[in-house]
Amino acid sequence: MRPLLLAAAGLVLASPLAAQDAVRTERAAFRITAVAQGLDHPWGLAFLPHGRLLVTERPGRVRLVGSDGRVSAPLAGLPETVARGQGGMLDIALHPDFAQNGLVYLCQVQAGEGGFSSTLVRARFAEDRFEDTRTLFAAAPRATTGLHFGCRLVFGPDGMIYMGLGDRGRMERSQDLADHNGKLVRLTPEGGVPPDNPFVGRADARPEIWSFGHRNIQGLAVRPGTAQVWLHEHGPQGGDEVNLVKRGANYGWPRATHGVHYGGGQITPHTSLPGMEDPVHVWTPSIAPSGMAFYDGEAFPGWRGDILVGALRGRHLARLTLEGDRVVAEERIPTFGERIRDVRVGPDGRVYLLTDSSRGAIWRLDPA
């Protein structure tokens, strides 16, 4: 099939790539198939019933991808997005009961008094638009920098939604419990504060906070069969971290880190401190991790139980092998030399990747 030009959306769509030589890894072999191309800095992905997808584009759009790879025009009905620096329309997640209620959650950057911030938006999917849209939460205080918005989302087995936030480029905010930035926050599906959050009732803390001391959370996932929430975050120059999240815990930034200032120069002499959680895994030099998924499908049995992480700077797929709660091995899997923004495991057990560019795409790894 020849590429199809969809004038309304301004995108060139491609049919799946022809068969190619398999990429062989330590425990699996795969071929790469293009699902949809021509996307503008795609950031987050959600799987709808019947093989369809919702994909966000950082400049401020959400598009519907059909089971045939056709990409819709931008879906209407969402608040205006501030697409500045690293900000824009970022992650997306479906309510656990999406099949019954049609609710979609988005993390986007919005403007307000004092600047702009990462916000949690809920809307009802209505095929060609969103309806009943509400902004449930906005990180405070706002700032005018275009850095470190975080914005990854995941629903936990407890039914609560977890939202990862960055420090907005001001490192000491991560240790300030009166500031949402540099934190993992935990909210009810209506945007309220769960009564068992660790800082509820403290006058000096924001009650939405679940953990703190994070620099810029870019991956967030629940380990299948457990209640564990895992995340990864960008370090500065070096010191990217994978962390197992604990209620109320401090993950150290910037008082403890394996990274240094860009261009060199010590941030702190400490890589570990009493009362702070050490990372499960560290990348130095940095790979700029983005997107995170536990593999629990049938297509790649050799990967089952492993963590898959995309690399923006490293331009590869990292596979982390776990024993208990420890990372015991890492494999760096070549793909196609592009920045990988997100990694998801589909209902079909395939692995889906988003590539971060003005000609970005959704790619699928098929077993070979």
Identified catalytic residue from 41, 148, 234, 316: 148
Cβ neighbours around 285 below 10 Å, total: 13
Whether cis (ω within 30° of 0) applies to the bond prior to 141 is yes
Residues 289-316: b if buried by 16+ CB within 10 A, e if exposed: bbbbbbbebebbeebeebbbbbbbebbb
Closest by alpha carbon to 288, among 215, 367, 211, 347? Answer: 215
Residue 360 CB-density burial (10 A; 0-12 exposed, 13-18 middle, 19+ buried): buried
H helix or E strand, kind and range, residue 63 = strand 61-65
C-alpha to C-alpha distance for 261 and 212, rounded to whole angstroms: 21
Angle in degrees, CA 201, 114, 57, rounded to 5? 95
How many Å separate Cα 196 from the centre of its chain?
25
Identify whether the C-beta of residue 121 lies closer than 8 Å to the C-beta of residue 79.
yes
H helix or E strand, kind and range, residue 70 = none
| Residue 148 annotated to the active site | yes
Q: How many Cα neighbours within 13 Å face the side chain of 262?
A: 4
Identify whether the C-beta of residue 52 lies closer than 8 Å to the C-beta of residue 87.
no
Q: Which residues are catalytic?
A: 148
